[in-house]
Structure formats: C-alpha cells, structure tokens
C-alpha cells in the first residue's frame, strides 16, 4: 500500500470530523484532488474507497448550510429550504 497516500487520507479524514459550510467546501476540493491523484497513481482500492466515502460526507456537509447571502440563516442550517 502507498504509505504517503494512506497518511494523507488519514489526515483528511481527521480534518473532516466536524466541518460545516465553507470549511467543508474547501476540504472537499482538496479531497477531490487527492482522489484524482490516487486514481491516476492506481492506488489501492482501499484508499480510493476511503477518499470516495469522505468526498460523499463532505459534499453533504457543504450542502448543509445556506449559501444565499441575503438570507438570515446564511452560512448556517437554513430553515427556509
């Protein structure tokens, strides 16, 4: 197994623990790049699966907040959706 990709995956998983909103979006972009790199390097399926699952979690977390700047719930869980 690729130790550098495994270590990077573990770091990303620990960062993703309690992120919401903009922080989740930023980390989501990083995970997308890491997943693309892992796939291009033909990493083990375990690493790719972990990154893919992390991407799903971060996508959900980043959608969990309101992105309408005129809404009173901006950058929080929106009650108007």
Task: Give ∠ CA 19-41-2 in degrees, rounded to 5.
Answer: 70
Quick count: other Cβ atoms within 10 Å of Cβ 76?
13
Instruction: Classify residue 70: in a domain, yes or no.
Output: no
Average pLDDT in the chain: 80
CA atoms within 13 A on the CB side of 60: 8
Q: How many Å apart are CA 39 and CA 48, to the nearest integer?
A: 7
Residues 20-59: tens digit of each pLDDT:
666 777 888 888 999 999 899 888 889 889 899 988 888 8
Residues 1-17: tens digit of each pLDDT:
577 878 888 778 777 76
The domain containing residue 19 runs over which residues?
A: 3-63
Query: Which of the two residues, 70 and 75, has the higher pLDDT score?
Result: 70
Helix residue ranges per DSSP H, 1-81? 3-15, 21-40, 45-63
What's the number of domains the chain is made of? 1
Instruction: Classify residue 72: in a domain, yes or no.
Output: no
Instruction: Classify residue 58: in a domain, yes or no.
Output: yes
């Amino acid at each position: 197994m690729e130790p550098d990709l495994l270590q990077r995956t573990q770091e990303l998983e620990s960062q993703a623990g309690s992120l919401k909103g903009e922080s989740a979006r930023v980390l989501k972009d990083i995970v997308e790049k890491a997943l693309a790199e892992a796939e291009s390097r033909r990493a083990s399926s375990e690493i790719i699966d972990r990154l893919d699952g992390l991407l799903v979690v971060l996508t959900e977390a980043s959608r969990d907040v309101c992105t309408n700047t005129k809404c009173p719930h901006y950058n929080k869980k929106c009650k108007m959706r």
